[in-house]
Chains A and B, each alone.
Chain A
Amino acid sequence: MKISDKVRRVSSGISEASVITATSTNKGILIRLGFPPSVIQEAKESDIIIAVRAQDQSSLDLAIQKANEMLESPEKISAGTEETSKLTDLDSALNVMPDANLVLLSIPGEHVKDISLKLIERRIHQQIFSDHVPIEDELEIKERAVKNGVLILGPGAGTSIINGKGIGFSNAVKEGPVGVVAAAGTGLQEVITLLDHCGIGVKHGLGVGGSDPKEKIGGLMMLECIKLLEKDPDIEVIGIVSKPPSPSIQEKIIEYISQEGKKKYVLAFIGGQQLHADRTGGRIIQVGSLASSVLAFAKHVGKEQFMKAGAATRISQQDLLNTLEKEWIKLRDAQKFIRALYTGGTFTYEAQVILSEILPGPIYSNAPILNIREMASSLTSEANSIVDLGEEEFTQGRPHPMIDPTIRKLRILEEAKDPQVGVLLMDFVLGYGSHPDPVGAALREIEEAKEISAKDGRYLSVISHVCGTTGDPQGYESSIGKLQSAGSVVLPTNAIAAVGAALVALRGKVDLEKIYSQYLTLGGELEDG
């Protein structure tokens, strides 16, 4: 993506530039971008394609020259310092930084085990972003790490915060009395950013990877992280953010924190039950959505923060209805479907949980939970579709959509052409590691999507959620402002955005009392207003 960006900037006469490996996904994207299929299809998997659209021959020549230069001298691409960009292996890096205490790995999953085990021998902690690490490798790594007192965050952990510093995809949040253990990357980002809006700081946010709370791994690192946070004197409230763990793991965790834990806890098992009358006299609160977990954290911290959390994470039922009625009255009768285009995996999951409670018809996804149907093809939506653009089929040979928004930009335009689509639902994740301007990058497509609909005599409702803080480099307020000026409704949490999309699609016919009680409040506290 870095080469593509640099090539794109070489002349103002270049409207599109992609320098990418010729995987089938990438070839499909280039064809959708309008490059001739016959030429693109000639490329083999091992080839690199330079695809440029330019207004004149000289811009085109400049672009191709730049791409060739950079492909021949990759060191020119790195934004790293002279000293560091020359390092190509871990041993050299350990010579340069012999007292390194954390290694962040984002390499193909098949290579993770060898490197990780060597690092464990040297007692070096690790955050592993890499996906596709075989589960047997994960178990071996984690068992050995526990024996040696080494912390393993991941595999599949994109986000962590240690002593207030973000590792991987993370946000600029205040430091404070909260520590979170998460097996849900964008879930962690949603929780810490919403807490930041309420004035509640986070000292540690430890991502353990989605497989950790499953039977095979047994919650090994989740439990170790809980023990670590218990021992940190600055931490007052510990949160666990995850899809519901395997029943036996959930029981193991609850048993540990009930019997051994001394601190206050929030268990946010997305889609799980809300439990308030617990066995610990209010020390442990269990909730079923990311937004309600923020209310629970705030309740533990103090009354003032709880009221602030209500204001920051919610919108009253009446205000939500009033805002969205202006959207649904413009739709034609046939426009009844939602197309959710997500970059965050946890947001996709949470939207499925909530929308499956509300929508009467079938829902499709490429990452379906139990009661959702699997899409026949991730590339083509049908009826109500909730698409996780960060899934494997979209990321093989290309960066994650939180880094490179191209794939979503194309999809926005395609969804707009379907006369049955009424609502586009999207997340925009700000922070370190993400695209420098995820909203700005999609703005032209949002406007064009609305134009496509308008030319066909339709209105297209766009509902967005921005996950970020005022300290994030992309600008939180300005990102919201840009979306609003492009005609998008922007809602304060992913959960409310999902409810909002359903309200528009069903023309207001949603049992809001029930949904608010289940996902947007703490068992009726802050029920409305």
Chain B
Amino acid sequence: MGEARKLFDVELKVINVGLDIFYNALQMQDVKAVHVNWKPAPKLEKETEDILDKIL
């Protein structure tokens, strides 16, 4: 966990993925942050997915 220890020694830089209220909360505290309006990848039909699995 040596790497993790470094997190306590440097300025926090956060990527917020999902709920934008958490991004707003970070901004209110002057934490450097970017927000991702995350959406799941469109779901392929099972059959198409199987074909793609075979050819890719």
Interface residues on chain B, size class: 35 or more
Decide yes or no whether A334 CB sits under 8 A from chain B: no
Q: Cβ of A149 and Cβ of B15 under 8 Å apart? A: no
Q: Cβ of A89 and Cβ of B36 under 8 Å apart? A: yes
* Assembled-state Cα–Cα distance A346/B25 (Å): 22
Decide yes or no whether A105 CB sits under 8 A from chain B: yes
Q: Cβ of A473 and Cβ of B17 under 8 Å apart? A: no
* Assembled-state Cα–Cα distance A209/B17 (Å): 18
In the assembled complex, the CB of B3 is this many whole angstroms from the nearest CB of chain A, namely 3
**Closest chain A residue to B37 by CB distance?**
A88
- Chain B residues, CB < 8 A from A125: 4, 7
- Chain B residues, CB < 8 A from A99: 13
Interface residues on chain A, size class: 35 or more
From A87, A107, A151, A231, B34 is in contact (CB under 8 Å) with: A87
Decide yes or no whether A55 CB sits under 8 A from chain B: no
User: Which of the candidate stretches A37-45, A74-82, A409-417, A492-500 sits at the interface with the other chain?
Assistant: A74-82
In the assembled complex, the CB of B6 is this many whole angstroms from the nearest CB of chain A, namely 8
Q: Cβ of A165 and Cβ of B29 under 8 Å apart? A: yes
Q: Cβ of A107 and Cβ of B38 under 8 Å apart? A: yes
- Chain A residues, CB < 8 A from B34: 83-84, 87, 93, 96-97, 100
Q: Cβ of A104 and Cβ of B1 under 8 Å apart? A: no
Q: Is the interface of A mostly helix, strand, loop or mixed?
A: mixed
Q: Cβ of B10 and Cβ of A80 under 8 Å apart? A: no
Q: Which of A335-371 contact B (CB under 8 A)?
A: none
Decide yes or no whether B21 CB sits under 8 A from chain A: yes
Decide yes or no whether A232 CB sits under 8 A from chain B: yes
Decide yes or no whether B12 CB sits under 8 A from chain A: yes
In the assembled complex, the CB of A467 is this many whole angstroms from the nearest CB of chain B, namely 16
* Assembled-state Cα–Cα distance A399/B18 (Å): 12
In the assembled complex, the CB of A521 is this many whole angstroms from the nearest CB of chain B, namely 34
Q: Cβ of A87 and Cβ of B12 under 8 Å apart? A: no
From A2, A88, A101, A232, B36 is in contact (CB under 8 Å) with: A88
**Closest chain A residue to B3 by CB distance?**
A149
Find the residue from B15, B28, B29 having the highest chain A CB count within 10 A.
B15
Q: Cβ of B3 and Cβ of A105 under 8 Å apart? A: no
* Assembled-state Cα–Cα distance A166/B30 (Å): 11
* Assembled-state Cα–Cα distance A88/B34 (Å): 11
- Chain B residues, CB < 8 A from A75: 37
In the assembled complex, the CB of B14 is this many whole angstroms from the nearest CB of chain A, namely 5
A-B contact list, 27 entries, CB within 8 Å: A75-B37, A84-B34, A84-B36, A88-B36, A88-B37, A93-B34, A94-B15, A97-B34, A100-B13, A100-B14, A100-B15, A102-B7, A102-B12, A102-B14, A104-B18, A106-B22, A107-B40, A148-B3, A150-B4, A165-B26, A165-B29, A224-B4, A228-B1, A231-B5, A399-B19, A403-B19, A432-B28
Residues of B within 8 A of A (CB): 1-8, 10, 12-26, 28-29, 31-40
Q: Across chains A and B, which 10 residue pairs bring their CB atoms closest together, nearest first? A: A106-B18, A149-B3, A432-B25, A151-B4, A106-B19, A80-B35, A84-B35, A84-B34, A433-B25, A107-B18
